[in-house]
Each structure stands twice: as structure tokens, then as C-alpha cells.
């Protein structure tokens, strides 16, 4: 009897750990390499214009210059990086690049996380650029022979709910 009860608890814990599907009012965006969930009113671009694998735009909170929250996914074959051998090395390298490209970038946090079954690193930055204050969340992944950087960008003044939605989009990532 105790063994049956133990198997039942194990089965229930495995079921409860299963990754949830997209929220009912969200859509799925797909590339050859991954898929993600996103709010239905977000614009999806294949990324080719932006040298990215995929770009998503949240046009619900555009500022007077037409800037709104966005997420991009960039991938690069591991052979592109001479000295980088691990996800940790790639995350550190990519995180440090933020200081080269974004004026006044200030890192708020940097941590190793797991998304689904995928190890990742997450860095949160704030910065001032082009007379705007920005909030950036970068995620660094390695899948098969590719390294990925995903960047969620919005205004610092954006609502906490919108900031959470942007992070939820990236964290819904599933590699193929």
C-alpha cells in the first residue's frame, strides 16, 4: 500500500511540474529553432530586417517618438566565438558587451536560471540613451551548437505588469 501511495505522489509531482501551455489569449511565434508564447496584440517580425532570428513589438505603450517595448532573439554559431567555450563564458562576454553599446548601462542583477529544461543566464540593466530611460532584460542561452541572446527592452517608467509580461514572453521559450 505504501509503495502505491509513493508512486501516486511521484506521478502527481511530475504532472504538477509540467510546463504550462501559453495563456489562452496569447499566440505562439515560431522560428526554425524555437517557439515562444506572446500576447495576441504584439507584432511579430521574422527579424531579418533587424539581423535577428525573431523580433516582437509591444505597440500598446508607444512613446511620442514611436518607441515601445520589444524583444529580439539573436543567434550565433559557436564557431563565431574564438575564446568562448561555455554558456557561462558567453553570458559574461555578452553581459559585458552591454557596457560597450549602451550609454550609462547599470547592471541591476545577473543570475543563472533554468527555463523549461534549458540553462540560461539573466541580466537586468537600466540605462539612459537618446534622452530616454530604459529597462533591459537580457537572457543568454546555448542550444546545440548555437548561442542565443534575447533582449527585452522597455521604458523604465513602464508598468511592473508590462515588465513582467515581457519577461514571461522570453521565459516561455522552447527550443526545437
pLDDT, tens digit, 9 for 90 and up, residues 16-74: 344 457 899 999 998 889 999 999 999 998 877 778 889 999 988 788 888 889 999 99
Quick one: which of 49, 50, 51, 55 has its CA closest to 31? Answer: 55
Q: Among 8-17, 103-112, 155-164, which is the least confidently predicted range?
A: 8-17
152/137 Cα distance (integer angstroms): 5
73/86 Cα distance (integer angstroms): 19
Query: What value does the mean pLDDT of the chain take?
Result: 86
88/90 Cα distance (integer angstroms): 5
User: Does the global pTM surpass 0.85?
Assistant: no
The pLDDT of residue 110 is: 97
**21-175, CATH topology level:** Protein Transport Mog1p; Chain A (3.40.1000)
66/139 Cα distance (integer angstroms): 25
> Residue ranges of the domains in the chain?
21-175
Q: Which three cell numbers stand for residue 72?
A: 529580439
Amino acid at each position: 500500500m505504501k509503495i502505491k501511495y509513493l508512486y501516486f505522489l511521484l506521478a502527481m509531482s511530475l504532472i504538477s511540474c509540467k510546463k504550462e501551455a501559453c495563456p489562452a489569449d496569447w499566440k505562439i511565434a515560431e522560428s526554425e529553432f524555437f517557439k515562444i508564447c506572446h500576447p495576441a496584440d504584439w507584432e511579430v517580425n521574422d527579424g531579418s530586417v533587424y539581423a535577428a532570428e525573431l523580433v516582437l513589438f509591444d505597440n500598446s505603450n508607444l512613446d511620442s517618438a514611436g518607441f515601445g517595448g520589444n524583444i529580439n532573439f539573436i543567434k550565433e554559431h559557436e564557431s563565431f566565438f574564438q575564446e568562448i567555450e561555455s554558456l557561462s563564458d558567453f553570458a559574461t562576454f555578452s553581459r559585458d558587451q552591454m557596457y560597450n553599446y549602451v550609454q550609462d548601462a547599470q547592471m541591476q542583477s545577473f543570475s543563472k536560471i533554468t527555463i523549461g529544461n534549458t540553462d540560461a543566464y539573466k541580466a537586468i540593466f537600466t540605462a539612459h540613451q537618446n534622452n530616454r530611460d530604459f529597462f533591459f532584460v537580457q537572457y543568454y542561452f546555448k542550444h546545440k551548437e548555437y548561442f542565443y541572446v534575447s533582449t527585452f527592452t522597455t521604458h523604465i517608467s513602464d508598468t511592473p505588469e508590462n515588465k513582467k509580461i515581457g519577461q514571461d514572453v522570453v521565459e516561455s521559450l522552447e527550443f526545437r
